[in-house]
Amino acid sequence: MFVDEAHIKVRSGKGGNGSVSFRHEAHVPFGGPDGGDGGRGGDVLIVAERRLRTLLEFNYRTDFKADPGKAGAGTLKTGKSAKPLSIPVPPGTVIYDNDTGEQVADLIKPGDKLIAARGGTGGRGNKAFATASRQTPKFAELGMLAEEHHLRLELKLLADVGIIGFPNVGKSTLISVISAAKPKIANYPFTTLVPNLGVVKTPWGRVFVVADMPGLIEGASEGVGLGHQFLRHVERTQLLVHVLDIASVEGRDPLRDFEIIMAELAAHNERLAQLPQIVALNKTDLPDARENLSRCEEYFTGKGITASPISAATANGTTELVAQIGKLLDELSPAPDEFADVPKPTVYEMPGRTERPLKVRRAEEPGVFFVTGTEVEEAVARTDMDSHDALWWLQERLDKLGVLRWLEGLGANDKDTVIIGDFEMEYAAEGYHRFEEVV
């Protein structure tokens, strides 16, 4: 089954928690803190792999989660960082942030990858919080929370040449003759339900990939028929081979067919209609083809488009067509030097988060305040709310960041509710602020 679109959810690993530990050695009655830091959580990577051709695997699995980092330990032992989770996709996969619609990666070459979610950093152990006035900190920092993203994957085939045309004009037969591809061929509409890829070699050794683009009919760009599903695959091609049935077996005018398909390409993407192309005047072996052959040749000569009479059924003219395709490809992009350096894989990253400044505002509901800002929200998220000492440290942080002064200036009273990220704080003008997670 050919699948060219998928939706997935990726989640990186949470950072490991820092450790609370103290030295226990002989003849050292007051061992200091020696809690180690937590390990980093695993990244989620999406990597283009040569062996894959479709996005079929994502029909069966759509959620991907990396492992968390390990917690730190005593004697300043840092927790083990988690290995990245690698998700393989076919070369030619374009990745979009499903929430914003923004394209975040175009994995063209094998080895290209997207860092789809970065693992959380590990929390600091209690050794990091020791000061002259706090010589025995009995708390550590929690690991950073994981990142989560919803992504849309879209596969665009990597072919040098796109074979286009109405159903039943002979596209599949042509690709079977000029390459080793073995597509399904029958005399009814939409025989080809998926694009077919074939590798072709010219007499002088130029190798190129052709793709048979199925199902293009009038209205395809607006969702009529099947062609709208495959128009995206034409976008990467350098050259189009437009196959026409000049015997009018289906009762259509071949020149009218040409104009309709070109209009559909332009409606989908104006650049597609401007691609270089060769027109294959197919089915010349049939008697009715003679009536249209000279008319079509004259029409395309006037447009400056190469028209090549062929019979895909008998292979007549196909060798000449392959030579014409190869020659035009040589002009468009010379064959790469096999000894040239292989380009390094491209590494993409999800757009970085925007650092948000500290803001404190009064809610419409009396006695409720909202505090936002990257630094303050991270400080709260990384605090162990079950540790009395950690909560006192957090209050010091809120004071240093100016949160408490800002709340006082806005007229906050004892027992008012202050919401910071996923937590609520009970405000106290003096003394201890109680926190609890918002359910």
Burial class (CB in 10 A: 0-12, 13-18, 19+), 396: exposed
> How far apart (Å, rounded) are the C-alpha atoms in residues 109 and 401?
47
Distance, in Å, from the CA atom of 381 to the CA atom of 372, rounded to the nearest integer, reads 12
Task: Compute and round to an integer the Cα radius of gyration of the chain.
Answer: 32
Choose among 65, 42, 54: nearest CA to 3: 54
User: Structural domains in the chain?
Assistant: 1-155 (2.70.210.12), 161-332 (3.40.50.300), 359-437 (3.30.300.350)
Give pLDDT tens digits along the chain (439 positions).
Answer: 567 789 999 999 999 999 999 988 766 666 789 999 999 999 999 999 988 878 888 989 999 999 999 999 999 999 999 999 999 999 999 999 999 999 999 999 999 999 999 999 999 999 999 998 888 999 999 999 999 999 999 988 778 899 998 888 888 899 989 987 665 554 544 444 567 778 888 888 888 888 887 756 555 445 444 445 667 777 888 999 999 999 998 889 999 999 998 988 888 888 888 999 999 999 999 988 988 999 999 999 999 999 999 999 999 999 999 999 999 999 987 655 444 455 789 999 998 777 899 999 999 999 999 999 999 999 999 999 889 999 989 988 999 999 999 999 999 999 999 999 889 988 987 766 667 666 4
Mark out the alpha helices in 8-145 (DSSP H runs): none
Which residue type does 139 have? F
CA 237 vs CA 4, 195, 334: distances in Å? 17, 13, 15
List 370's β-bridge partners, or say none. Answer: 361, 419
